[in-house]
Amino acid sequence: AQKITQTQPGMFVQEKEAVTLDCTYDTSDPSYGLFWYKQPSSGEMIFLIYQGSYDQQNATEGRYSLNFQKARKSANLVISASQLGDSAMYFCAMRILVSGNTPLVFGKGTRLSVIA
């Protein structure tokens, strides 16, 4: 079974600063994908970034980057140049990559608050 751990229930960051949201995972399967989703107060789940277990480079999407350390089983999300609109819940998730599509397993989330 897969498990995602997010140890930071809440984080604060000053506007325009960078922030790292921690995520560790556990799985015995060698082929897996790691995902980050953003959930603003309106409730929808917004896909941010994806990292495959065999990807050689860390994923980046605009101001989001994923610091993937396979040996440590960590997949931290880095948000650069924080904006007020980044205030939201952030969920780390994973799924095993097999034929077909497997369900996502989520962590408990981290609430990020960006301060002006």
Partner 1 sequence: EPEVTQTPSHQVTQMGQEVILRCVPISNHLYFYWYRQILGQKVEFLVSFYNNEISEKSEIFDDQFSVERPDGSNFTLKIRSTKLEDSAMYFCASSAPGYEQYFGPGTRLTVT
Q: Which residues bind partner 1 (CB under 8 A)?
A: 33, 35, 37, 42-47, 50, 91, 93, 97, 100-109
Supply the minimum distance, in Å, between the C-beta of residue 47 and partner 1: 5
Identity of the residue, 66 or 82, whose beta carbon is nearer to partner 1 in the bound complex:
66
Dihedral of CA atoms 32, 42, 109, 33 in degrees, nearest 10, equals 10
Identity of the residue, 25 or 37, whose beta carbon is nearer to partner 1 in the bound complex:
37
Identity of the residue, 82 or 91, whose beta carbon is nearer to partner 1 in the bound complex:
91
φ/ψ region of 109 (left if φ > 0, alpha if ψ in -120 to 50, else beta) reads left
Count CA atoms within 13 Å of residue 52 on its CB side: 6
